[in-house]
Chain A
Amino acid sequence: MKIDKREVEYVAHLARLDFSEEEKERFTSQLDNILMYMDKLNQVDTSGVEPMSHAITLVNAFRDDKVGESLTHGLSLANAPEARGDCFSVPKVIE
């Protein structure tokens, strides 16, 4: 067993997800299966290998510090589920 229900609950919290009991059971066994499959990577000797995060060698992409076009206030708020005035509206965070 690589992962148990308690760990699934903890990871779900980190990922900002909620699951029903039935979903938790299902995810636990599916993730467990997948993680067991991943264990085959332990067969590979990777000593001295640099981890690769991108397929191409990336350099910083700089541009001149010039003001360009940007979205208007209205356009930025146009897709908001809830907005008030010039702001996105969310449940109260500070008491």
Chain B
Amino acid sequence: MELNQTTIHELQEKIRTGETTSVEIVQAVFNRIDAVEGVVHAYIALMRDSALEEAKRADLNIREGKIRALTGIPVALKDIFCTRGFRTTCGSRILYNYVPPYDATVVEKLRESGAVFVGKTNMDEFAMGSSTETSFFGITRNPWDLERIPGGSSGGSAAAVAADECIASLGSDTGGSIRQPAALCGVVGMKPTYGRVSRFGLIAFASSLDQIGPFTRDVEDCAIMMNVIAGYDPKESTSVPIEVPDYREYLSRGIEGWTVGIPKEYFIEGIDPEVLTAVQNTIKVIEESGGRCIEISLPHTEYCLAVYYIVAPAEASSNLARYDGVKYGFRSGAGNVQDLLTMYKKTRSESFGAEVKRRIMLGTYVLSSGYYDAYYKKASKVRALIKRDFDEAFKLCDVIVTPASPTPAFKIGEKTDDPLQMYLSDIFTISANLAGIPGISVPCGFTRSGLPLGVQFLSGPFEEGKLIQIAAAYEKNAKIERRRPNL
């Protein structure tokens, strides 16, 4: 197995024993990038020079015995995280030239843990999308089938891990943007509890829903990444000051005696039959592992999508008001526009893509006087009921299992003209963001045509350990075949 196909924990062992060096690993990653990036397009920008320098520094530290959690491991960052002195675009023309003067807290934490940054990965513009087709910098392709989308909005981060163009990566998840692409690319993806990981330096989309999480090759790597990024941050007012456990301690505990809830509302018409079979197989494995599966009900499930597409655009329309061409980013017709209002309108109209404009319009409409109560306030009330559903469910079970996506990866262009169809891709992941609970997507097999599938586990708030526990038990007992995309 090549170094760039290996997991963090296997590489740590090889680094520790001197079998390989960070420089060798980083070179293997960039060789792979040179070979496949032309067709996958997982990255917006590469950090080739600084990565080699960081790797050399890591090797020096290793020789001196200074090994931290991720020393020398190549990691990719979604281009939504601010990186000091390095261009951060959020997949948008409006930020095409933006160079942040500071690092996001997660970037700082990865840096401090010794990680080597490979580059900034591609994404749907401002993280609005389920397919990574709306980036100003072009589309990302699914490494398993180049005619298909990698999922979104963190499609670049998922594809980079799946295509062996990095060892692990970070994404952000507002309505499923980590779990859905993880499922469609055949990797592990976790969205932590809202407030568990600091959002400082994450370019805001919908502030009450956004959360940062890792993409990894296996569950153990997910635990390692979570150990690094989780925790209270005084710079972020929604960050929660409670203790973070060592997530690796949950890896080998097993799920003997657990009760696992299967929400009946998640097994709906329109779900792909192969997805359904894969989830049924997962349920069998859980029972063989000592878990007891029971049917539960989350009665407000059918309203999640409508609530989400009111709440998220409402918050987005206000977050994106800051892009006016004054303090940073693109400005239209610099110097030639005579009045401020025209400058704002031209700047925003020329530099936001269609999906972003659609959501700004939707958000502005539902917040406008006369419609606020009918849409935003109503949605916020139904959101409370959705959260209450989960509170009730977790009185009956330890974790919940659902499909991660209703279908395998769909074809590029298939849903771009029908926003509602596109929004339905997130139907199984959105509820966790509305309720603020954590979720993990784990590979659970392949379709007959060879596309990866994922299963989702959900738990109560701040119980990411439980998710690691069941995901690790499942991964061990399901023995899903390890395949690599044929690139």
Residues of A bordering B, CB below 8 Å: 3, 7-8, 11-12, 14-19, 27, 30-31, 33-35, 37-38, 40-42, 44, 46, 49-56, 58, 61, 63, 71, 75-76, 78-82, 88, 90-93
Contact = CB atoms under 8 A, between A and B. Distances in A.
B328 interface: yes
Given A40-B306, A71-B101, A15 B378 contact: no
A68 B437 CA distance: 34
Given A8-B361, A15-B317, A15-B364, A54 B238 contact: yes
Given A30-B419, A63-B234, A81-B334, A56 B436 contact: yes
A88 B326 contact: yes
A61 B237 contact: yes
Contacts of B377: 51
B368 A91 contact: no
B184 interface: no
Nearest to B339: A91
Given A34-B419, A56-B436, A58-B237, A79 B208 contact: no
Given A40-B302, A75-B101, A78-B101, A49 B435 contact: no
Given A12-B361, A15-B348, A34-B420, 15 more contacts: A15-B317, A16-B345, A27-B358, A30-B358, A41-B306, A46-B378, A50-B381, A51-B380, A55-B434, A55-B435, A61-B234, A79-B98, A80-B326, A81-B326, A81-B328
Nearest to A58: B238
17 contacts: A17-B357, A17-B360, A27-B361, A30-B419, A31-B358, A31-B365, A34-B309, A38-B310, A41-B306, A46-B378, A51-B384, A56-B194, A56-B238, A78-B101, A81-B325, A81-B334, A90-B326
Given A33-B420, A49-B381, A81-B330, A91 B98 contact: no
A9 to B, nearest CB: 11
Interface of B: 97-99, 101-102, 194-195, 208, 234, 237-238, 240, 300, 302-303, 305-307, 309-310, 317, 321, 324-331, 334-335, 337-346, 348-349, 352, 357-358, 360-362, 364-365, 368, 375, 377-385, 387, 419-420, 434-437, 461
Contacts of A79: 97-99, 327-329
B234 A52 contact: no
A52 B331 CA distance: 37
Contacts, number: 159
